[in-house]
Amino acid sequence: MGGASDLPPGFHFFPSDEELIVHFLRRKASLLPCQPDIIPTILLNHYDPWELNDKALQAGNQWYFFSHATQSRVTPNGYWSSICADETVKSGGCNIGLKKTLVFSIGESSEGIETNWIMHEYHLLDGRKVSSSSTSTSSSRKLHREKGHSNTESNNWVICRVFDSACGSQENVHEEGMELSCLDEVFLSLDDYDEVSLSNN
C-alpha cells in the first residue's frame, strides 16, 4: 500500500492524536470496521523503518500501521527505544490513550547508532474521566466487561506513525501546541487570502 489511494481526490490523511485513537485504534481493538479501512496491520519486528513503503499506509513522509504491543522492538537491522516520557492523549476530558515517542537505532542495543527515524506509538487507556471517582471507574470497567472486551485484549493493539525527522514530521502545530486539522488549514489559508486582498485594495 503506497498511499491513501482509497480517499477521494484532493483529500489527504492527516489525523490528530485524538483522531488516531478514537476513529482507528479504538475501533480496531473493539473488532469494529474502520472507515475508511486504509491502515494495514504489520509486524513491527519484521521491518526496518525504510522498508515500510508498500507495506504501511504512506501519507506524505509519514507511514501508519496497526501492530501488536510488544516489549521487544528489535528489527532485522536495529531497534526502537523510547526517548521521552509518555504523553497522555485526551478527548472530551477523558484520558483515552498514551503516546510513546521512540527513535530507531542501527545495530545492537549496547552500541547502536541513532538515526533520524521517529515513531509515535499509540496505546489505549480505559477512557476514564480525569476527575472521576472510584465508583464511576468501577462502573466503566463493569460496562467494558459486559461488552465482552477485556483490558488485555483492547490494549494489545497499537497504532504507529513513523517518519524521518530529517524531512520534517509534517505536523502543523498551533502557537499553543495544538495540531491543526485539514479544515483548519483551509480556513487559515482563506484568512490569509482575505488579508492579501484587503491590502491590495
Cβ-in-10-Å burial (0-12, 13-18, 19+) of 124 comes to buried
- pLDDT at 12 (0 to 100): 80
State whether residue 45 is helix, strand or coil.
helix
Q: Identify whether the C-beta of residue 12 lies closer than 8 Å to the C-beta of residue 4.
A: yes
Q: Identify whether the C-beta of residue 104 lies closer than 8 Å to the C-beta of residue 49.
A: yes
pLDDT at 191 over 70: no
Q: Cis before residue 40, ω within 30 degrees of 0?
A: no
State whether residue 156 is helix, strand or coil.
coil
- pLDDT at 85 (0 to 100): 96
pLDDT at 120 over 80: yes
* pLDDT tens digit sequence for 60-112: 999 999 999 998 999 999 999 999 999 999 999 999 999 999 999 999 988 89
Query: Other CB atoms closer than 10 Å to residue 52's CB: what's the count?
Result: 20
Q: How far apart (Å, rounded) are the C-alpha atoms in residues 199 and 195?
A: 6
- pLDDT at 34 (0 to 100): 83
The mean pLDDT value for 189-195 works out to 49
Q: What percent of the chain has pLDDT over 70?
A: 64
State whether residue 66 is helix, strand or coil.
strand
Amino acid at 161: R
pLDDT at 114 over 80: yes
Q: Which of the two residues, 5 and 69, has the higher pLDDT score?
A: 69
Q: Model's pTM, two decimal places? A: 0.70
Tracing cell 481493538 back to the chain, one arrives at 29
Q: Which of the two residues, 172 and 54, has the higher pLDDT score?
A: 54
* pLDDT tens digit sequence for 16-55: 999 999 999 999 999 998 877 899 999 999 999 999 999 9
Q: Model confidence at 169, in pLDDT bands (50, 70, 90)?
A: low
